Amino acid sequence: MKRRMNADEKDGGRSKKSKADPKPQSNNGDNVHLKRQLVPFTCSFCGDKGHIKRGCKKKRACDAAAATAVAVEADKKKKNEGGDHGIKRPSKLSPRKRSSPLATSVPVNPMQGASSGTTTKFVNYMKFIPTPGFKAPRKKN
């Protein structure tokens, strides 16, 4: 439901922008206001018109020079710190294959050494009680 306007409100409480620009801002001398897309681009790195910072050749050259300077500094630092005098690191060793423990054929009795009371409690606990609807598995011959 829409709210009613008060008497002092005009145009729904908003101010509308005028569609006609009173003073056109133009880089051209013929006073034609162009959209931003049509105005020639100005590079924010070098200030030239016709391209932007991303495509600036001067910026690319400057970045490449900075990258080479950083690489040269890193090489100098590596040579100054390197006291190994040509000692190479050994290559990685191949992973060792683990041999599985030998299978023992002697059966292990978990109740060996347990008292008779513990054994009877364990046997009563492990007693099978079939639930309703239980079907025993078929025996294979």
Residue 26 is predicted with a pLDDT of 47
What Å distances lie between residue 2 and 5, 6, 7, 16, 81, CA to CA? 9, 13, 16, 20, 77
Can you tell me the distance from the alpha carbon of 45 to that of 138, in angstroms, rounded to the nearest whole number? 84
* Cα(90)–Cα(86) distance, integer angstroms: 12
Give the pLDDT score at 44. 92
Residue 122 makes CB contacts below 8 A (sequence gap 6+) with: 111, 114
The mean pLDDT values, 10 residues at a time, for the chain of 141 residues are: 69 57 53 72 90 92 92 82 65 74 67 84 83 85 72
Enter the pTM of the model. Answer: 0.32
Largest CA-CA distance found in the chain, in angstroms, rounded? 111
**pLDDT score recorded for residue 91:** 78
pLDDT of residue 60: 93
The pLDDT of residue 130 is 79
